[in-house]
Structure formats: structure tokens, C-alpha cells
Structure 1
Amino acid sequence: MKFSLSWLKDHLDTDATITQIAAKLNAIGLEVEGIENPAEALAGFRVARVLTADRHPDADKLQVLSVDLGDGQPLQVVCGAPNARAGMVGVLGTPGAVVPSNGMEMRKAAIRGVESNGMMCSSRELDLGDDHDGIIELPADAPIGSEFAAFAHLDDPVIDVSITPNRPDCMGVYGIARDLAAAGLGTLKPVADRVHPGAFACPVEIRSDDREGCPAFFGRVIKGVTNAQSPAWMQARLKSAGQRSISALVDITNYVMLTYGRPSHAYDLARLNGAVVARRALPGEGITALNEKHYLLDDSMTVIADDNGVHDIAGIMGGEHSGCGEDTRDVLLEVAYFDPERIAHTGRTLTLTSDARSRFERGVDTDFLAPGLEILTGLILDICGGEASEAVHVGAAPAGGKVVRYEPKLAETLGGIAVPDEEQRRILTALGFEIATVSDGGADHWAVTVPSWRPDVDGAPDIVEEVIRIHGLDDVPSVALPRAEGVAKPTATPMQARERRVRRAAAARGLNEAITWSFLPMAEAEAFADEPLWVLANPISEDMKAMRPSLVPGLLMAARRNMARGASSVRLFEIGRRYLRGNGGASDERLTIAVVLAGDRTQRSWQSGKAQKFDAFDAKAEAIALLETAGAPVANLMVMGEAGAQYHPGQSATLRLGPKNVLARFGTLHPRVARLFDLDGPVVGAEIDLETIPARKGAATFTRASYTPPALQAVSRDFAFLVPADLPAGELVRVVKGADKKRIVDSRLFDEFRGAGVPEGQKSLAIEVTLQPVEASFTDADLKSVSEAITVAAAKQGAILRG
């Protein structure tokens, strides 16, 4: 929500500075995101008079001006504007000034051989309008040499306030002024109470056939308007709010919305036919909205229509067909109340946002329909002229006036600070609450009537919040929680301790931690979903609609952003929860760590000029290292396939304890998935389910055994086997290691060969086996026994010992 200081002071009588206002807004919970002063961008631009204008000697379309800044030392300026002439007063940008429209810094320069000491400026160059046909012309009595920003009254700071969803009353400048007045920063000016009785009966029938979606529809006709430009003061206010001026009628409706939080709409009466009705849309109906996009509607949506069809997506956006233009002479005004849930549903379904929607779906003031219509009417009559009809009031908005039982002592009980009763009464009254003291036989209490513009206030705790935030959140004392005497006991659960160990290990391995959203766009979530997704009924946006079934998509999107900004190598990890469907469709949240590696694994080599890329074995190494840190028995892990459709077949696998207990999956992302995330080159990843790792036996009292090196030297033996070409090497290594668990302490693959001497459809795998004697050195018989056990175990996998 943006607004200028002068706009705020139209409704708040205050002498506070912009700094004081910003500090108070932050103190009462209306966070100031920024303050901009348009005058700062116009530093160096001054009012100047053109003394002479002569033709440039080497350019037909340029003139050489002599410009007076009031100091008696005329400057020479080259100008190409057709309206530049002797005697006119304009705006000169002096050397050192920065042009707001393009950021160019002005300097002395020679233009076609003639020195120029600045630039005479147009409205577009100063970001003051779209006019670029000539330079700005100021009144002849403008003070020569003065700062242009001061002369044009542009020294008006703009405040940008972040409004939380629970404060629809502050979606207008008047509501913000009310809060500041209650906080003691001035006096709130009353809303003008001006009624326009109407000179004739409304010639258009207005009704609501959808009382659920549109309980109240107020309107009237104004004939004989002139839809020219709105006044400069209104255009300046709209610009401060980030709105562009369109026409007087449109600007007035926008101004009322931004001032009072009351959306409205003006229809060109000549483009309407028959009664104007709020109703449900018919299946198959469509409308081209003011944003020039066509929307297909359904019967869950409320629309404003006439005999010809739909003219307005109610409460969200008007139609292109019935909008007001330069030729509009008669208008129908609409000031209605629309059901917030209906507006939110329609906006989500159509993926259509607007300023009106943001206010209606939060809840507008239910008692401000008639006053809003009168304010709108008055502005149109004053600016556009014309004659108003009688107002038509159809239906009524939901009744306000909710009464809350409140005891002043709750401010201290719930808010932590004792606020005198009279101060609480003053604060609540200033915010628009009405207070009555009630005696019910016991202690007196207050019956607090909630104002119609505060739909967020439901009970006594909400009243406490209002009192405390206006009285001063900074005054709430900081009180430490009670602490038991003695030595503190550990509070981290085994899973929390595991999470901390894994996080430190990942960082120590050179991975950068990322924290991504728990929500994903549908396409990215579906790419990693092995079962139906959890989809939000009321998402923040379409890009945050599905609960993440995996942490990898969020990391891939982070990798894409980093690589788009020039990063050559991305190494990311994240620890968080993914959201699956458990037995019976219940929610199953799984604590997970995910790793994504993209780009270059090494820097470019001076020999080849190329960098090595990440591959599936890099992902496997990260997965095994993190599993070991988490306490998994990595020596017993089985490498098996079926990593999922998200991974490249043949370049991915799972790590399991037994055939069914999947601890992790890793590998190269499928090219289709990489393309979905706009990532080039191989991208590898790994994902570990920390909750599937079995706890160590006796973990609660576990202490690491002291290191005792073996007294006897280990012995290594090499074995070469012929195996089927499709047998995973890891399976053979695992089987060989388990052939004699008492004497074999390790086994590893050190060679794979296919070619001459190896039959078609087979491969040769060479495995080094490490044997560790314990009580006595191995005899030949011992070694022969172990070799036979290895050969027998390997044979069960189809392996034959090579001769």
C-alpha cells in the first residue's frame, strides 16, 4: 500500500515529520517497507528561462539556446525540441543531474561541434508523464533558478506500507490515518457527510439475483459527464500509489478505493441494455476483461450482467466492452458488497488478481456502501459535471455491530502489560470501537461493539491486541521463562541430534545449505510425485499450490537461479520435511535430506581445457557419507535399482537395508526432468529418508569402544570372476565379503574388463579381499578354506572363478 504524505495529511491533522510517521507505523504493526521522495530524483533540475534560440550551424533540427538560471551567467544549451523558443520558461537539467527516465548522468558535451551545458527536459524524461513532443513549458512568472521539484510541489514523500491480510481496514489511506490518530500522532478528520438526493429517478433497473454472492448492490446513474483527464492533484496521488492515470471516471473510482478501501465500478450507460443484474454466471459464458484477456466462467462465479450478457467479473475486474472512454456521457455507478469466499474462489479459479479482489476477499466495510456511493458521486459531479439520479439500494450487506465481552484486566493477563482502564477506553474509542459498561451481578465488564470495518476482531484476545499495539509493543517487558535448578537435561530427541550431525557433515563436505518453500508449482511437484499430491485449497499463489513430495525440486529451482546468474558449479543440500500420503490417505511427513550437484565438479584443466562434470558416483558418495554420519550401517547397504522415473535409468540406484527398506536414492536426473527445470548438462542428486535409518542398539547408553589395533598383519588376496554382464558389481562385492564374516574384514572392486578372452554376454570383475587374523597367523589351509568359501558364495550369483 503506497501513499504520499500530503494524501495522508488530507485525513490526519498532524505536524509529525515523515520520520516520526514511519516510526509510529512500525510501532503499531504497519510495517514500512520503504520511503521515496520524488524530489530526490529531480535534484539538479532547475527552472530556467530561454533568452535566445538560434539555429544550430550543422543541424537543421537542433537549436542553440542561451538559458538564464537567474545568476547573471547564461548557459549555452543545444536542444532539439520543436517548441523551444526565446522567452519561454522550462526545466533545465544541469551537469551532474541524473535523468529519471533512463538513469543518464548529464555532462558538458559537444553536440555536432557545439558545446552544451545541460538539457532542457520533457515530461517523459522527468517521469512526470508521457508527453515527449516538446520540452516542459512553465508559467512566465515561475521563479528563475529555483529547484523545479520545489516549484512543482513534488517534495512529497511516498510511504510504502506492508498490510497484513488481517487488516483490510488499512487497505485505504483513511484507515491508516485512523490508526495513527489512535496512536497519538494527530487528529483524524471526519469523512465528508455529503448527500446527493438526485434530480430524477434512476432509469436503469438494478437488482441482485444472487444474494449469496452479492447481498447488496447500490447504484445510480449520472448523465451529462465529461470524461477528460482527472485533476493534476488526483493524478499525482494515483502515481504515488503506483497507479497510472487513465481518465477522470476511472481515476475517481481508483482514488475512492485507495482512499477508503471501497472498490467501485463505472459503466458506460450507452453500452448497457436492459436491467443490470448481479447473478451467477451461466456455464460457457465468457468475458474479455479490462486487462484484454478472455476468461471462461462457470456457475460458481458471480457476475454483473444485462440483457446482452456479462459485463463484469463481480468484485474483481470489469469488462472491456462496457468500460468508460473519452466518448462516455452517461454512467452507471456500482457500489456493491460481494461475499469474500466467492471472490477468493473466483480469483483463484481464473488466476486473476486485482486491487478490488485483494480488498473484497479480505472483507470491506459493510456499512460503507451508501457513504461510498455518495463520495463517488460528489467527486464525479465536481470533476466531470453532470446530473445524478436518485440512488438505488438493493439488498443489504451482512449486519455488523458484533459485541465482544471484555475485561480490562486481560491487557495485563494476556498482553503482559498493565494499561489503565481510561487509556484502554481512549484507544478503543479512537479505533472506532464502542464501549458500554455492563454489570451482571459480579464484577463489571465491558461490552465492546466492533466497528464494521474490522472483520478480523472476533473475541477478547483481539481486543487485547489492539490495546497493546497502540499503547506500545516496545513497552511489554521481557520476562525470562522459569528455569529449574541443577544441571540441565538434554532436550534434543535422537532424531534432532541426528539431524544436527547430518547438517554439520553436509556443510563440512562443501555443500551449501538451502532453505526452500514447502510448496511447489503443480508441474514441478508432479514430476517427483509417486503418489497423489497434497494440493492446497487456498494457496498463496499458483506457484505454491502443492505440498512438496520431495526436497529435490526446490533445490533444482535454486540451482537454476544460481546458474542463470553465472555460477559454474552448484552444490546444495537441504534438510526438511516432505509430505506424502500414508496409510488410509493420512498425511505422512518425512524428515529428509536432499543433495543436488550441478555444473562443473572441477575447474577447467590446463591440459584439456575442459572441466569435469558431476556424475552418479558423486551423488552416491554424498549419500553414503551422510548415511554413515546419520548412523546407518553402511557396510550392510545393498545397491539396487528402481530409483524412480525422475532419475536416468542405468545411472541411478537406491541404497537399501534388505530388499524393502529404502534408505536413499541417488543418481543422474532424467534429461526430461532437467529440461523441466531449465537445467543444462548432467545434474545429479540424492535424497535420504532420515526416519528409515534404524536406531543403533543401545543407543541411549552407547559409548564408542576404545581403539585396539590388531596384533597381526592383514592379508589381501585377489579374485577374478566371470559374471553375467547385467550383474551389478556391488552385489558380487557384498556376497564375497559375507562369505566368511569372521576372517574377511573388507572387499572392494578394483577392475572390470570386457573384451578379448571374455565370452559374449559376460564381464570380468576383479575383487580384492582383506583377511585379518586375530589369534594366530593364517595357515595355507586357512587361506584355502576362505578361498573355497568365497568361490562357493560367488557361484550363487552366477560367478565363475577365472583360471
Structure 2
Amino acid sequence: MKFTYSWLKQHLDTDASLETIADTLTRIGLEVESIDDPRVALAPFKVAHVISAEPHPDADRLRVCKVDTGAGIIQVVCGAPNAKAGMKGVFAPPGSYVPGIDLTLKPTKIRGVESAGMLCSEREMMLSDEHDGIIELASDAPIGASFAEIAGLDDPVIEIAITPNRPDALGVAGIARDLAAAGLGRVITPAIDVIEGDYPCPIAIEIDAVEACPVFAGRLIRGVRNGQSPQWLQNRLKAIGLRPISVLVDITNYITFDRARPLHVYDAAKIGAPVRVRLAQPGENVAALDGQSYETQGGECLIADENGPLGFGGVIGGSASGVSDETVDVLVEAAWFEPVGIARTGRLHGLESDARYRFERGVDPTSVRWGLDLATRMILDLAGGSPSTVVMAGHPPAAHKAVCFDPQRVASLGGLDVPRTRSREILDRLGFSWRDETDGVVIDVPEWRPDIDGEADLVEEILRIEGYDKVPSTSLPRLVDVARPTLNLAQTRAGAVKRRLAHEGLFEAVTWSFMESRIGRIFGGSDRLLLENPISSELDMMRPSILPNLMQAAAKNRDRGVEQIALFEVGPDYQGLEPKDQRLVAASLRAGQSGPRHWRTKAGPVDAYDAKADALAALEAAGAPVDNLQVFGEAPDWYHPGRSGTLRLGPKRILAAFGEVHPRILLALDLKGPMVGMEVFLDEIPQPKAKSGRARPALQRSNLPVVSRDFAFLLPREMPVANLVRAARTADKVHITGIDVFDIYEGKGIEPDQKSVAIAARLQPLEKTFTDADIEIIAGKIIMAVEKATGGILRR
């Protein structure tokens, strides 16, 4: 919604500045989107007097003008044919921005003659498309005066955003009412006199579609002179982006924006009686004022005569009955259309208009008569003529609403304690009527506020005028207990393991919790897991392990040409009928090549170490104490006995099993190997220790350099390397941050029952840089710990 500052002041008596008005509009819910002040853009342009206009010495169509700008005499080269001595025009000095040609002026030479500035045309001032000549002002225009003030272009344009529930604010009069209620003056909207008419209206009006148009009023005005509108009316329409057409059309457009009351005018000589409001039949043709032709789909509200449609009611008029400069007799229409039907018609045909925008949001039903009288008065004043009486078909829909209101609800519902007298004052200023009844307060809602339905709407009206910024900020009540996490430990671990295995390059699979009993028995299943009513003969047992399902999924992928397979699943397997026999397991399976194919690397088939790496990654993600794990060679029967193992905390607590799938299993399932897999038993991982407080421990960081020392030990050939690593790590828990195995050697120079294991120990100083003596002390601790735990000796 756009309007100008001076237009607003015709409805609002106020001394408030433009900035205050803008701030208040936003505060009361009519958000200001922009303010276009032409005084700023046109400030450099002044009235100038052309003293002389001599022919250019080197160009027949150019003139060299001496121009008095009020601040001195300037030379300007001008190509306008009407540039002549003695005239007054609009001068743009060097450095000014000319909006019509998107150019910033600077001193220049034109055909060898210096020119400083420009004499401007209407197009260059964005007043019209006229550019054949420069603007010629009245002879009494004062030299040096602001062109914006002389031309009446100093009126700021305000644009506000209108929410769908505020159709009353689609007119300047409604905006003025809100500002007056907010304390920015008083409403001075002129009253509208009833015009009775000089003769009966000869054009009959009938309504066949009362549900689409309950009331339709019209009046004939004879003897009008339809020409250009007065300049003030053209300026206002141009300011808000409308193109002046003719005085009759401009009046209806003006009232649409001034009072939120759409109207329409017909050339009475082009229509046949009676004028009828009816619903369209499919396939009718409407030639509209926008130059387009629309075929009806059926059900649209039409204004028609005996010859056919005259336009879509409340949306757009027809070109055949439109007024022109030759129009002498005009029929003025004022009607009320049902909002939903208007919206449907507009959407069906993609039609946007100012009338549709207002009717589909709800126009004041009582404005049918006074809107017609206002249009009549303006036409008589600006175009002359003689009016008929008003002919009205139908009746305006009942718009009166009364709402029971408890003034204390402003505080309880809105959070602001507004005194009763202040609440009544605000509602009175907004046009509501306050009645004190025996049962309480009753508020009569004005017809122009169809959005008010209940007590909460009245509270909103009071609050927006009083000021939302006055509502005190109240914090939400703090709960005594902190909400517990939504996920339990098992769910948290499962999610962490899934993310880690996906990060390791495996793809998640979701398989059945059942399998074929023949396969299930191979993986430790018993008849207790058989289903009484299986969904398939191949799914007749609860799965005792996830691995078989992943192996079958791998086989299907391989049949489809996938060579490198990496799958995982996190879910339950079943060892019996009791709840405790259901385990949460993370299982993975790899087949094909180990690592990506690349010319720089020589990758072989997957092996047990790939499965072990996946198991360790899953355990670490689940929070298991990986550094304390022990590797044992025993594994379930479905793993290869020499290429598998288990990861344990102590001899009996098995956290994971891994290894290459036994060739016997591959043969039984008719699968091609090798395949390696792992199973991590998430339920067996110890519970995390309870934290002593909510705060995280202090971050331990050191700016001292890390020292690395290598050791080579001779161990018994059967001694697990993990024992050596564990012994070395525990030799000095404060300074040793890591132990890495980088070489294992058996062969020449080593006894047949021994092996050489080389490790690198990372040593981190905490308080000062290590000296050689410090390093020797730690190295001695490592040697002693390894000898005691494994019997190994330092290799010399």
C-alpha cells in the first residue's frame, strides 16, 4: 500500500514529522517498507533562465546556451529544438545524477565547445516518456528555486506492508484513523454528502447470483466531459505507481486507495439494459481492460448485459464497455462481492488488480452507498454532468458484530496492565463502540473490521496501539529438574558406532531379523529360535548372528557386478527366548580387495586385519577402553581358526570377535571368498564412570616438544605383541602418550624360537624440556616393564 505524505494529511491533522509517522506506523503493525522522498533525488535540479541560445559552430542541431542558475552564468550545449532565449527550464549542474538516463553529469566538451551541466527533458526527470524537448517552466518561476517544489514533486511516498487481516488499512483514511488512535493527531476525513439525483436511473440492475454478489448499486451521470484529470490527481496517482488514464477512471482509482472502496465506470452508450450479475457458464469469452481475452471455466461472477459479459465482477472490467474521451453518459458501479469467489476467479485466470486485492480481503459492506456518493461528487466537480437517482439491487450483508469483552483480559492475555479507561479510549478512537451492560462490557465492531471475531482480537488492538514495546519481558519458568537425555546409553552407542563405521568406508545395511534355519544352525542357532508362523520358509528362524545376512547381501551385490563390498549393520541377534538373550551387536563384512584400487598401491584381498580394524573402530566409538583390550586367538566356529580372534577385557569378557569367514561356511552358503567380518557386542562394553560434576576437565596441552625413542626387543615367538605394547605403555603413565609397533622380524640372526619386535615410544614433557638423563630414566622403566611382563630382552 502506497500513499503520499500530503495525501495522508488530508485525513489526519498532525504536526508529526515524516520520521515520527514512519516509526509509529511500524509500531502499530503497519510496517513501513520504504520511504521514497523525491526531494532528496531532485535536490540538485533548479529553475534556470536561458539568457541566450546561439547555434553551435560545428553542429547544426545543437545550441550553445548561456544559463542563469541563480548562482552564476553557466554555458550549456543543448540539442533540444525548443531551447530558446528567454525561456525558463530545469538545470542539472555537474555532479548531479539524472535518473531518467542513469547518468552522473560531469563537465565535458561537445564538438569542441565546453558544456557544464544539462537542461532536462521530462523523460530525464522521469515525469513522462517525452524527450523531444526540454521542460519549459512558467515565466514567473523564480530563478534558482527547487524544481521539485515548483513542480509539486516534493511529496514523500510511503509504502507499508499490509497483513491479510487489515483490509481497512488499504485506504489512506483507515491509516489515518490508526495513527490518530496512536496519538499522532486527529482524523479530519471529509464527510460524504448524500446525492439524491435529478431523475430516475434508466438502466435496470438485476442479481441472479446473490451468493456471489449480495448487493449491486449503480447510477447514471449524463453529460460528463471525460478528459485529463487535474494535475493534483495525476500527481497522486503517479506517486503511487498508477498511470493516469482519464478523469473518470482516475476518480475510481483514487477512491480505491483513498477509502479502500473499489468502484467501476461503464460507458452507458456501450451497454444494454438490464445489467445483470450472474455466474459464468463454461466457455464464455471476457475481453478485459488489460487487452487480454479470458475464457470462463464456469462459476465466476460476471457483470453482463444482453450482449454478453461486461467483465469479471470485483476483479477487472471489460474493454467493450470501457469509458473513452468520447464518453458522455457514464454508469457508476458500487457493489460488494463475496471474498472467496473473488479470490477463486483471480487465481483461475491469473488476474491481479487493486479491486481484487481489496474485495478478497473484505470491503466495508456499508460503503456501497457512500462510495457511490463520493464518486458522484468527484465526477460532478471534475467532469460535470447530471446524476440520476441510485438504483440498488439486493442488500448489503449483515456486518454488525458484537463481542463480549473483559478489560482484565488485556493483562491476563496480553501481559500488559492497561487501565480500563485507556482501553476504552483506544477502542473508541479505532471506531469501536463500548457498551456497559449488566453482564459486562459489549464491544460493537465497526463494519470495516471483518477480522475482529473475539475477545483476543480486541486485546490485540489495544496492545498494538498502546505499544508492544511496553509489554514487560518475562522469562519462562526455570524447571527444577534438568530434562533427561532422550536417548539411552544403548541408543547413543548405536548411533556413534554407525557414524564411525560409515566414516571407515562401510555402507549400512538393514536386513531381516530372521533367516533360514539351515543357515542359522551353522551360526549357533537352536530349535528354540524357530518361528511358529514364519512369513517365509526361508525366514523361519530368529537370527543368532547378523553376519549370515550380511554375507547373503554381499553375494547379491557381487551378482550385480560390485567387486569391492563393505557392509555393516547395527541391530539385535538372538541367543534364546529370554529378554537377556537378545544382544545389541554391530557387525561388518568386507569382501573383495582391501583398500581402493590405485596404481601407487598394491592391494591384495581383504584379511583378518581389516576386520580387526573395523572392530577396534566400533569399540572406540562406543566408548570401550581400547588400550586395555587383549587379543585372544579363539573365535566362534564360523571364523577361520588360524585367521581370527577375539578382543577381551580379561580372559572371560568378550567384547568383539573378528576374522576371516571359514571356507566351510562359504561353501555351505555357496559364496565366493575370501570374506572377513567382525561382531562387536555393545552390551558387553562397561558402563561409563559417573562424572563428579558437569564441568569438563581442564584441557591438558603442552607447548613442549614431543620426544620419540625406538626400542627393539627379543620376545618368545609365541608371545603376543600386545603384551609388549601394554607393558611399555604402563611403564610411565604420565609421560608416555603412545606406543607404536613398526617392525616384527624373524629369520637370520634371530633364534628360531624368538622374534624381534621394534616399537616407537612417544614421550611428552609436561613442565620442562626433557634432558638426556630424563629420557634415560623413562627408557629404563620401559625396558624393565617389558622384561618383567614378557621375558623379552632389549636387542643390542
Q: Is the shorter-chain TM-score for this pair beyond 0.5, marking a shared fold?
A: yes
Partner of 1:455: 450
Matched, 1:341 2:340: yes
SS at match of 1:782: strand
Matched with 1:547 is none
Q: Which one-letter code corresponds to 1:328 in the other structure?
A: T
Give 1:732 shift. 7.7
| Distance in 2 between residues matched to 1:659 and 1:293, nearest whole Å | 62
Which amino acid is the alignment partner of residue 455 of structure 1?
Answer: P
Of stretches 400-409 and 83-92 in structure 1, the one that deviates more from structure 2 is 400-409
Distance (Å, rounded) in 2 between the aligned partners of 1:59 and 1:323: 48
TM-score (norm 1): 0.67
Partner of 2:784: none
Deviation at 1:70, TM superposition (A): 2.3
2: CA distance, partners of 1:129 / 1:297? 37
The DSSP-based 3-state class of the residue aligned with 2:43 is coil
Is residue 490 of structure 1 aligned with residue 510 of structure 2?
no
Question: Relative to structure 1, is the Cα distance of residues 293 and 783 closer, same or farther in structure 2, using a 3 angstrom cutoff?
Answer: same
Shift of 1:292: 2.3
Corresponding residue number in structure 1 for 2:460: 465
SS in 1 for 2:348: helix
Question: Which of 504, 511, 524 is 1:658 aligned to?
Answer: 511
How far is 1:275 from its partner? 1.3
Question: Is 1:248 aligned to residue 121 of structure 2?
Answer: no
The answer (yes or no) to whether the contact 1:747–1:769 under 8 Å persists in 2 is no
1:609-632 CA distance string (max 9 Å, x none): xxxxxxxxxxxxxxxxx9868769
Which residue number corresponds to residue 311 of structure 2?
312
In structure 2, what residue type is equivalent to 1:447? V
Map of 1:478 onto structure 2? 473
Whether the aligned pair in 2 keeps the contact of 1:638 and 1:657 (CA below 8 Å) is no
Hey, what's the Cα distance between the residues in 2 that align with 1:481 and 1:446?
32
Query: Alignment identity in percent?
Result: 44
Question: 1:446 is matched with which residue?
Answer: 441
The one-letter code sitting in structure 1 at the alignment partner of 2:390 is A
1-structure distance, mates of 2:265, 2:662: 91
Contact 1:732 1:794 in 2 (8 A): no
Structure 2 equivalent of residue 775 of structure 1:
632
Alignment of 1:170-319 (within 5 A): 170-319=169-318
Q: Deviations for 1:560-614, whole angstroms, at most 9, x for unmatched residues?
A: xxxxxxxxxxxxxxxxxxxxxxxxxxxxxxxxxxxxxxxxxxxxxxxxxxxxxxx
Deviation at 1:12, TM superposition (A): 0.3
> Which residue number corresponds to residue 23 of structure 1?
23
- The residue type equivalent to 1:749 in the other structure is Q
1:212 deviates by 0.4
Cα distance between partner residues in 2 of 1:383 and 1:324: 15
Q: Is the 8 A contact 2:10 2:189 kept in 1?
A: no
After superposition, give the CA deviation of every residue in 1:23-52 in whole Å (9 maximum; x if it has no partner): 111121111111110111112111001111
Partner Cα separation in structure 2 for residue 478 and residue 148 of structure 1: 50
Equivalent AA in structure 2 for residue 163 of structure 1: I
Describe the SS at the equivalent of 1:383. Answer: helix
Cα drift, residue 277 of structure 1: 0.9
Q: Which residue of 2 aligns with 1:391?
A: 390
1:51-200 correspondence to structure 2 within 5 Å: 51-71=51-71, 73-200=72-199
SS in structure 2 of the partner of residue 413 of structure 1: helix
1:425 aligns with 2:441: no
Deviation track 1:183-232 (CA, whole Å, cap 9, x = no partner) reads: 11011014422222222221211121110000010111122222212111
Please name the residue that 2:593 is paired with: 749
Kept in 2, the 8 Å contact 1:638–1:658? The answer is: no
CA distance in 2, matches of 1:475, 1:733: 61
2:302 and 2:309 in contact (8 A); partners too: yes
**Is there any run of 5+ residues in structure 2 with no aligned partner, and where?**
515-554, 570-584, 598-602, 613-629, 646-658, 676-796
Query: Measured at CA, do residues 253 and 197 of structure 1 come closer, stay the same or move farther in structure 2, by a change above 3 Å?
Result: same
User: Cα 1:799–1:457, aligned 2, differ >3 Å: closer, same or farther?
Assistant: same
Helix, strand or coil at the partner of 1:729: coil
Distance in 2 (CA, whole Å) between partners of 1:797 and 1:368 is: 87
User: Amino acid of the residue matched to residue 125 of structure 1?
Assistant: E
Aligned to 2:2: 2
Deviation at 1:788, TM superposition (A): 6.9
Paired with 2:43 and 2:564, the residues of 1 have a C-alpha distance of 72
How far did residue 321 of structure 1 move? 2.2
Is the Cα contact below 8 Å between 1:732 and 1:797 reproduced in 2? no
Which residue identity is paired with 1:312?
Answer: G
1:438 to 1:283, Cα distance in 2 relative to 1, 3 A: same
CA shift for structure 1 position 169:
0.4
**2:406 corresponds to 1:436:** no
Equivalent residue runs for 1:354-433 within 5 Å: 354-433=353-432
More divergent stretch after superposition (248-257 vs 294-303): 294-303
Residues 428 and 52 of structure 1: CA distance in aligned 2, closer, same or farther (over 3 Å): same
630-639 or 417-426, larger mean C-alpha shift: 630-639
SS in 2 for 1:236: helix
Distance 1:423 1:489 in 2: 43
Aligned length: 581
The 3 A distance-change label for structure 1 pair 725 and 780 is closer
Distance 1:33 1:282, change over 3 A: same
CA contact (8 A) 1:311 1:322 kept: yes
| Cα pair 1:752 1:765 within 8 Å, conserved | no
Measure the CA separation in 2 of the matches of 1:327 and 1:402.
46
The CA RMSD over aligned residues, in Å, is 3.5
Summarize the alignment of residues 751-766 of structure 1 with structure 2, pairs less than 5 Å apart: 766=605
SS of the equivalent of 2:467 reads helix
Q: Which amino acid aligns with 1:77?
A: V
* Aligned-partner Cα distance in 2 for 1:424–1:253: 37
Match in the other structure for 1:793: 666
Question: Deviation digits for residues 673-702 of structure 1, max 9, x if unmatched?
Answer: xxxxxxxxxxxxxxxxxxxxxxxxxxxxxx
Task: Return the alpha-carbon distance in structure 1 between the equivalents of residues 511 and 500 of structure 2.
Answer: 13
- In the alignment, the residues of structure 1 paired with residue 87 and residue 177 of structure 2 have an alpha-carbon distance, to the nearest angstrom, of 46
Q: 1:477 to 1:439 in 2, by over 3 A?
A: same
The superposition leaves residues 530-561 of structure 1 with CA deviations (integer Å, 9 ceiling, x where unpaired) of xxxxxxxxxxxxxxxxxxxxxxxxxxxxxxxx
Contact kept? 1:34, 1:161, Cα under 8 Å: yes
Write the mapping of 1:525-544 to structure 2, written as runs, cut at 5 A: none
Residue type at the aligned position of 2:147? F
Instruction: Describe the SS at the equivalent of 1:242.
Output: coil
The structure whose Rg is larger is 2
CA contact (8 A) 2:50 2:65 kept: yes
Tell me if structure 2 keeps the 8 A contact 1:628–1:634: no
What is the alpha-carbon distance in structure 2 between the residues aligned to residue 46 and residue 793 of structure 1?
Answer: 96
Q: Judge which range, 55-64 or 411-420, deviates more.
A: 411-420
Q: Which amino acid aligns with 1:489?
A: V
Quick check: 54-63 or 777-786, which moved more? 777-786
Counterpart Cα distance in 1 of 2:7 and 2:586: 86
- Measure the CA separation in 2 of the matches of 1:22 and 1:408: 30
1:729 aligned residue (559, 563, 569): 563
**Could you say if the C-alpha distance between residues 75 and 769 of structure 1 is closer, same or farther in structure 2, counting changes exceeding 3 Å?**
same
Q: Which whole-Å CA distance do the structure 2 matches of 1:99 and 1:23 have between them?
A: 30
Tell me the CA shift for residue 133 of structure 1: 2.4
> C-alpha deviations, 1:251-289, integer Å up to 9, x for none?
111100001101111112222123111100011112132
How far off its partner does 1:420 sit?
2.1
| Paired AA for residue 490 in structure 1 | A
Contact 1:638 1:730 in 2 (8 A): no
Alpha-carbon distance in structure 2 between the residues aligned to 1:451 and 1:434: 8
What is the CA distance between 1:633 and its match in structure 2? 7.0
Q: Distance in 1 between matches of 2:184 and 2:23?
A: 11
Residue 393 of structure 1: SS of its match in structure 2? strand
Q: Aligned-pair distance for 1:787?
A: 5.9
The residue type equivalent to 1:774 in the other structure is V
Structure 1 contact 752–766 (Cα < 8 Å) conserved: no
CA-CA distance at 1:748 after TM superposition: 6.4
**Cα separation, 1, equivalents of 2:363 and 2:257:** 12
Deviation at 1:5, TM superposition (A): 0.4
Q: Does 1:37 align with 2:32?
A: no
